[in-house]
Chain A
């Protein structure tokens, strides 16, 4: 009881008298409300207003699932750096990184819930309804496990931060921080990639490289998001959360993740352009024809971000701010390419040209969900005893 009382006291103390923060929250609330009302309409009327069809059954929300799942990966990397590699300079962003991971996993699960036909029945997974051979079942179960893991990591980290953790508590925080990474990469992201990888009906998906590709792109986009959050928080607080040396190290890490992703992306497309099947070749033609903008955003974005992070001079907060945004957008475009556009290859030639461009009925709930989780993240960072605040208070 005392812990809850203390926590509530701390929260109220931190929420008091910050007008700008309230305005920011109000704006996010409006966006979330408008956006999520679209999801409520879809729940009542079905996805009839969306541009999905029987030939393109998965739209932007499933791309959103893959995107947000990816983003949650990089967040766990910070825990590994702190606890596994002893990088104490990452300590000020430890809890924030966990929160970013949590919000991203919530967003991913929200995308699934908004996309399925009957989310209430979907809640019966994994206990009442299950099929162990389904990658969707394995993945959705792993997301729940990941959420529990992140919550446990958050609680233990907060205990350590406020100095109330016992020796055993510190050890638990350390172990959770380390195991979150292999769990996120091997269980969560690999199996999310496998959802698509096992589909032999779709040329672009059916490759054993897809889980690997998912892991690398997840690390790049997720770590980019953590860097971005760090920079924005530093700018808002007008005080650097981490040192320049740490920013440089972050940039180097991101560069390595980008090298792996760009390598896989480049050779994936290159091999596709020489495909041995008509479907593979058509995928390539669709990407570089009708859907050239997303293809270019994906490829050019990755190369720009890679070049920027490769130079030490550009691994400054401003340079990293640009390169992380470019990375996130480029990998977002990759998700759209991979999931939505890859379904445009007609299963029979006689079906002719299939089109899919997401409309506002699909995009609005995605924006609303993002706004709602940004709001939750902002409130949590405000009320929780994060490392930098406790450090400042102690001073």
Chain B
């Protein structure tokens, strides 16, 4: 048998190597091209949610919400419920509703000097166990009357609708993230990758599925609220910390609460006129503790 020369061995190794590596590389390259073609087509046509009907704004309505901090127990059911209701993928993190856990006892005055970025607890991203000596504060899109995001969006992909909801048109969003930089409430989420972690059986057919490269946010569950229902976060809150309704109607629950109880809005100095009000004075109301452990809750049960 003839002995192979060094050159022949290298050549053979090259052929074998290419045979092993190439199919995988070709496949990866093919899927990359496919993704780019899909993005081009999506960019030109804009097909997200084209077959889903979004109800028109309700005339004479200004939707708003009240969150009672004295009643919020930090269970994050609102966050989970919202995630499922709005087909928010796992790749979106933090979810639309962030629930902060402060290290202060209810009623204790927060010292500004203690809060300058020294709080290492990134409680928003973790589903921490409830603690009775902590306060919880859910934050989300405030659906501002003078929303900075709608002014800066270069394509009107985000806009203020007549009923006070700051809406998203996913087919106009170019993914510049200017709205995210401009939002004082950190309420907007970008699809940094293709959405992952939505189970087919959990998909809500009333809400469009988004794709990578676009921004999304809380829509006050527009598919529900404009049909006369309430938002999912309100529905699933076990302690009734949230109230949703029409701020233009003086007899609505939200209007009555904000005219009769001590309340504040986030970052009022920025004159964004948020439509989410917070009730404070936690001392007045005793904390009512929710019996179920938040981590064991039946997530899919929320959909029913």
A-side residues, CB < 8 A to B, are 40-41, 43-48, 50, 52-55, 57-58, 112, 115-125, 129-131, 133-137, 140, 195, 198-202, 278, 281-282, 285, 343, 345-353
Within 8 A of A (CB), among B61-107: 91, 94, 98, 100-102
Q: Is the CB of B174 within 8 A of A350?
A: no
Q: How far is the CB of A123 from chain B (nearest CB, A)?
A: 8
Partner of A350 from B33, B36, B123, B148 at Cβ < 8 Å: B123
Q: Is the CB of B117 within 8 A of A352?
A: yes
Q: How far is the CB of B39 from chain A (nearest CB, A)?
A: 6
| Docked CA distance A118–B156 (Å) | 15
B-side residues, CB < 8 A to A, are 31-33, 35-36, 39-40, 42-44, 46, 91, 94, 98, 100-102, 112, 115-117, 119-124, 137, 139, 148, 151-157, 172-178, 180-186, 188-194, 212-215, 270
A residues less than 8 Å from B116 (CB atoms):
278, 281-282, 285, 349
| Docked CA distance A351–B115 (Å) | 10
| Docked CA distance A343–B186 (Å) | 11
A residues less than 8 Å from B154 (CB atoms):
125, 129-131, 134, 136-137, 140
| Docked CA distance A133–B243 (Å) | 33
Q: How far is the CB of A352 from chain B (nearest CB, A)?
A: 5
B272 and chain A: residue at smallest CB distance:
A200
A residues less than 8 Å from B192 (CB atoms):
46-48, 50, 52-53
A125 and chain B: residue at smallest CB distance:
B154
A198 and chain B: residue at smallest CB distance:
B152
B residues less than 8 Å from A53 (CB atoms):
192
B residues less than 8 Å from A135 (CB atoms):
152
| Docked CA distance A41–B212 (Å) | 13
Q: How far is the CB of B241 from chain A (nearest CB, A)?
A: 18
B120 and chain A: residue at smallest CB distance:
A352
Q: Is the CB of A131 within 8 A of B148?
A: no
A205 and chain B: residue at smallest CB distance:
B181
Partner of A121 from B35, B46, B190 at Cβ < 8 Å: B46
Q: Is the CB of A57 within 8 A of B181?
A: yes
Q: How far is the CB of A120 from chain B (nearest CB, A)?
A: 3
A residues less than 8 Å from B178 (CB atoms):
134, 136, 195
Q: Is the CB of A121 within 8 A of B174?
A: yes
| Docked CA distance A255–B189 (Å) | 44
A residues less than 8 Å from B177 (CB atoms):
57-58, 117
| Docked CA distance A43–B194 (Å) | 11
Known: A117-B175, A125-B174. A54 touches B189 (CB 8 A): yes
Jot down 9 A-B pairs with beta carbons below 8 A, ordered by A. A48-B192, A115-B176, A118-B43, A131-B155, A134-B152, A136-B178, A200-B182, A282-B116, A352-B119
Q: A119-B43, A285-B117, A349-B119 known; 13 other A-B pairs, CB under 8 Å?
A: A46-B191, A46-B194, A48-B192, A55-B186, A116-B176, A118-B173, A134-B154, A136-B178, A137-B155, A200-B184, A201-B270, A346-B117, A350-B124
Interface centre among B120, B121, B151, B180 (most CB of A within 10 A): B180
Partner of B180 from A47, A57, A137, A350 at Cβ < 8 Å: A57
A residues less than 8 Å from B180 (CB atoms):
54, 57
Known: A43-B36, A48-B193, A54-B94. A120 touches B124 (CB 8 A): no
B residues less than 8 Å from A134 (CB atoms):
151-155, 178
A122 and chain B: residue at smallest CB distance:
B174
Partner of B172 from A45, A46, A119, A129 at Cβ < 8 Å: A129
Q: Is the CB of A120 within 8 A of B270?
A: no
B residues less than 8 Å from A285 (CB atoms):
116-117
Q: How far is the CB of A193 from chain B (nearest CB, A)?
A: 14
Q: Is the CB of A350 within 8 A of B32?
A: no
A residues less than 8 Å from B42 (CB atoms):
118, 120-121
Interface centre among B117, B119, B124, B191 (most CB of A within 10 A): B117
Q: Is the CB of A120 within 8 A of B40?
A: yes
Q: Is the CB of B176 within 8 A of A122?
A: yes
Q: Is the CB of A347 within 8 A of B185?
A: yes
Q: Is the CB of A353 within 8 A of B120?
A: yes
| Docked CA distance A359–B151 (Å) | 31
Q: Is the CB of A131 within 8 A of B156?
A: yes
Q: Is the CB of A348 within 8 A of B100?
A: yes
Q: How far is the CB of B233 from chain A (nearest CB, A)?
A: 18
| Docked CA distance A120–B39 (Å) | 8
A residues less than 8 Å from B94 (CB atoms):
54
| Docked CA distance A58–B215 (Å) | 13
A345 and chain B: residue at smallest CB distance:
B117
Q: How far is the CB of B116 from chain A (nearest CB, A)?
A: 6
B residues less than 8 Å from A346 (CB atoms):
117
B residues less than 8 Å from A54 (CB atoms):
94, 180, 186, 188-190
B151 and chain A: residue at smallest CB distance:
A133
Q: How far is the CB of A70 from chain B (nearest CB, A)?
A: 19
Q: Is the CB of A57 within 8 A of B190?
A: yes
Interface centre among B91, B178, B214 (most CB of A within 10 A): B178
Q: Is the CB of B36 within 8 A of A40?
A: yes
Q: Is the CB of A46 within 8 A of B213?
A: yes
Partner of B173 from A117, A123, A345 at Cβ < 8 Å: A117
Q: Is the CB of A350 within 8 A of B184?
A: no
B residues less than 8 Å from A195 (CB atoms):
178
Q: Is the CB of A199 within 8 A of B190?
A: no
Interface centre among A134, A198, A199, A346 (most CB of B within 10 A): A134
Q: Is the CB of A282 within 8 A of B117?
A: yes
Known: A44-B36, A48-B193, A352-B117. A129 touches B174 (CB 8 A): yes
Q: How far is the CB of B36 from chain A (nearest CB, A)?
A: 5
B193 and chain A: residue at smallest CB distance:
A48
| Docked CA distance A58–B181 (Å) | 7
A residues less than 8 Å from B174 (CB atoms):
116-119, 121-122, 124-125, 129
A140 and chain B: residue at smallest CB distance:
B154
A residues less than 8 Å from B188 (CB atoms):
54
B residues less than 8 Å from A116 (CB atoms):
174-176, 213
